[in-house]
Amino acid sequence: MDELKTNTQVCVDTDILKQVEPLFDRLGLDLSTAVNVFLYQCKYHNGLPFSVRLPKAYHNEGNTETEGNES
């Protein structure tokens, strides 16, 4: 059975892409496969496969938009 595939365009930061390409190479992944792994993990976790939080230093700077959200 043929897999259905969709071509899509994603804008990524050039610097981070250069930093992760050697990692993906060592893992035997190309960018497309790495993105697919991420998407499958999002499906598996029913959300992002990691927590997204502001660093504690951001809270210590007195930013009011995050006050009370120290979790």
Tally of domains within the chain: 1
Distance CA(28)–CA(38), nearest Å, equals 15
pTM: 0.69
In a domain, 46, yes or no: yes
Q: How far is CA 65 from the centre of its chain?
A: 23
Long-range Cβ pairs for the range 47-54 (8 Å, 24+): none
Domain of 52 in residue numbering reads as 14-66
Give me the phi and psi of 40, to 5 degrees please. -65, -40
pLDDT at 42: 98
Distance CA(27)–CA(22), nearest Å, equals 9
- pLDDT per residue over 9-62, tens digit each? 999 999 999 999 999 999 999 999 999 999 999 999 999 999 999 888 877 766
In a domain, 47, yes or no: yes
In a domain, 7, yes or no: no
In a domain, 2, yes or no: no
- pLDDT per residue over 47-60, tens digit each? 999 999 988 887 77
